[in-house]
Amino acid sequence: MFDSWSAWTWVLIAWFELLLAYGGYLLYLRWRNRRRQNEEG
Partner 1 sequence: MNTRTARRPLWLSALGLATLILFGVGAILALAVSPPDINQGDLIRIMYAHVSVAWVCFLAVGMTALFGALYLWRGRPMDDVWSVASAEAALFFGALTIIGGMTYSKPTLGVFWDWDAKLTLTALLVTLLVGFFIVRGLVDDPQRRGRVSAVIGLVTLASLPFNYLAAEWFRTLHPAKSINLDGSGITMEAAFLGILLFNVAAAALAFAYFLFERVRLGRLEVQAEASEDDPPPTGEAVHV
| Minimum distance of partner 1 from residue 4's CB (angstroms) | 11
Q: Exposed e or buried b for every residue in 21-38, given b needs 16+ CB within 10 A?
A: eeeeeeeeeeeeeeeeee
- Residue 15 touches partner 1, criterion: CB under 8 A: yes
- Residue 25 touches partner 1, criterion: CB under 8 A: yes
- Residue 27 touches partner 1, criterion: CB under 8 A: no
Rounded to the nearest 10 degrees, how much is the dihedral formed by the CA atoms of 17, 19, 22, 25?
-70
- Residue 7 touches partner 1, criterion: CB under 8 A: yes
| Minimum distance of partner 1 from residue 24's CB (angstroms) | 9
